[in-house]
Amino acid sequence: MSDTLAALIAAARDAATRAYAPYSGFHVGAALLLKNGDVVTGANVENASYGLTLCAETTAIAKIANEGWIGELAEVAIIGGRPDGDNLIGSDPVNPCGRCRQILNEAAERSERDILVHCASGDGKTVNSYKLSELLPAAFGPKDLGLLD
Ligand code: THU
């Protein structure tokens, strides 16, 4: 694994410590690598009205969009599991949910990149990397509304 990927996964793991997930007890962190090398993170935010939960990827994308950086995305790392001190318990990589794939696609199209999405297990032993186009083939996005060249 490259140093850049290891650092991105470490940032996602750190973000997961700030999850607000009292209902599921499942803490997810997402780290967005920007084209300039900066990293922006997010974690899931749950709600007593369960269906209103915001996923880690969504909170992270909202942060870059609000900074004017939605077209600056290069790569994404996601990690999740049940917290145990500073560790996350879980051997299955966390794959982005369907809604998050669509939200990631918005930034990917704006960034003019088929971004890599690195999906890590909480125990850190498994990382599966995909192109977003594999996770969300034939996506609908800003290009379909004539907003891109
Ligand atoms: N979750 C994420 O943050 N990202 C995903 O892509 C999948 C699910 C969160 C939502 C909820 O707080 C918890 O994981 C359990 O579903």
What CATH number is associated with residue 23? 3.40.140.10
149 domain-assigned: no
How many angstroms is it from 77 CA to the middle of ligand 1?
14
Give the pLDDT score at 148: 81
> CA-to-CA distance for 31 and 96, rounded, in angstroms?
12
Please indicate whether residue 112 is annotated as part of the active site: no
> CA-to-CA distance for 148 and 86, rounded, in angstroms?
42
Share above pLDDT 90 across residues of the chain, in percent, rounded to a whole number: 95
- Ligand 1 contact, 28 CB (< 6 A): yes
Give the pLDDT score at 39: 98
Give the pLDDT score at 94: 98
| pLDDT tens profile 122-144 | 999 999 999 999 999 999 999 99
Stretch 20-30: mean pLDDT, rounded?
98
143 domain-assigned: no
* pLDDT tier at 32, thresholds 50, 70, 90: very high
Q: Which two tokens stand for residue 103?
A: 């939200």
86 domain-assigned: yes
Residue 58 near residue 93, CB atoms below 8 Å: no
- Ligand 1 contact, 65 CB (< 6 A): no
Instruction: Please count the structural domains in the chain.
Output: 1
Give the pLDDT score at 48: 98
147 domain-assigned: no
Average pLDDT, the chain: 97
Give, using CA atoms, the residue closest to atom 3 of ligand 1.
Answer: 55
Give the pLDDT score at 103: 98
- Ligand 1 contact, 46 CB (< 6 A): yes
In this model, does residue 149 exceed pLDDT 80? no
Residue 45 near residue 57, CB atoms below 8 Å: no
28 domain-assigned: yes
Q: Which domain holds residue 60?
A: 3-137
| pLDDT tens profile 64-122 | 999 999 999 999 999 999 999 889 999 999 999 999 999 999 999 999 999 999 999 99
Q: What DSSP assignment string belongs to the chain?
A: --HHHHHHHHHHHHHHTT-B-TTT--EEEEEEEETTS-EEEEE-B--SSGGG-B-HHHHHHHHHHHTT-GGGEEEEEEEEEEEETTEEE-SSPPPPPHHHHHHHHHHHHHHTS--EEEEEETTSS-EEEEEHHHHSTT---GGGGT---
Give the pLDDT score at 3: 93
Give the pLDDT score at 73: 98
